[in-house]
Amino acid sequence: MKKKTLMVLLVVLFLVPAGLFAGIFDLSIGAIAQYNGIIGSENATWEEGMSEIDNYEFGPDIRMRILFAEVDIAALYSSTNTGHRLSGIATGGVSLDLLGLLRLGVGMGPRLSVTFDDDWSNAQAYGPNNVAISGGSDFGTAFMNAPMSYRITADLKLGKILLGLNYTIDSDGFTFEQSNFDQLMPNFDNGGNLGASVLFTLF
């Protein structure tokens, strides 16, 4: 009898922390497809180009959440006339679950893209509107000069699957290098990029 009681206690001791941990921390990994056209307040309707797969960029989407704090990393690949283009954004922010069915999140962080020749040489970093970032292939310099951007996510929770939309919009030019807080607000006049993600929550 004592052995059975001890076994039950051990199971409870293992299950309770595991349940608490699952509610505090989760990691979701999946894929994102992002329309490379600009979507703003003046053209928030369906565009003809949205039905053409050539107008989309694809890549991985990773989200790590502790309580309400969330870190997102999204990367995208596309081909160019002269080679390849990799772009990405890393954001830190918050996300909230509503009724266990919907997860809304907002975060901010640097966004940049890097172009390469066909043989993956001659790397050059770019910010919004294809403006070259000083530093060439120096990632540290490019990161410090990358514009701050905002990413808004809205996901439907289907068990372990997150299915939703995201919208990325640049700030008014804020960078870590300049730290001009007057440029930190989102630039709604320039619009942003709309994407869709499918993620699987590992734990």
Would you say 152 and 128 are in contact if contact means Cβ atoms under 8 Å apart?
no
Q: Mean pLDDT across the stretch 116-137? A: 75
Enclosing domain of residue 154: 25-108+149-201
Contact 203, 190 (CB under 8 A): no
Cα–Cα distance, 125 to 173 (Å, whole number): 16
40: in domain = yes
Assess whether pLDDT exceeds 60 at residue 31: yes
Res 72: pLDDT: 96
pLDDT of residue 7: 52
In a domain, 6, yes or no: no
Residues 173-188 pLDDT 10s: 888 888 888 888 988 8
User: What pLDDT score does 53 carry?
Assistant: 85
Note whether 127 and 112 are within 8 A (CB). Answer: yes
Give a yes or no: residue 120 inside a domain.
no
State the CATH number of the domain containing residue 53. 2.40.128
pLDDT bin (cut points 50, 70, 90) of residue 22 is very low
Compute the distance between CA of residue 25 and CA of residue 109 in angstroms, rounded to an integer: 21
* pLDDT tens profile 94-109: 999 988 899 999 999 9
In a domain, 122, yes or no: no
SS3 13: helix
Q: Note whether residue 176 is domain-resident.
A: yes
Compute the average pLDDT of residues 64-85.
91
Total structural domains within the chain: 1
* 127 within 8 A of 106, measured Cβ to Cβ: no
pLDDT at 140 over 90: no
Q: What mean pLDDT value characterizes the chain?
A: 82
Q: Is 21's pLDDT higher than 80?
A: no
Q: Are 87 and 111 spatial neighbours (Cβ–Cβ below 8 Å)?
A: yes
What one-character-per-residue DSSP string does 122-177 give? S-EEE-GGGPBPTTTT-HHHHHHHSPEEEEEEEEEEETTEEEEEEEEEEBSS--TT
Q: In this predicted structure, what is the pLDDT of residue 65?
A: 93
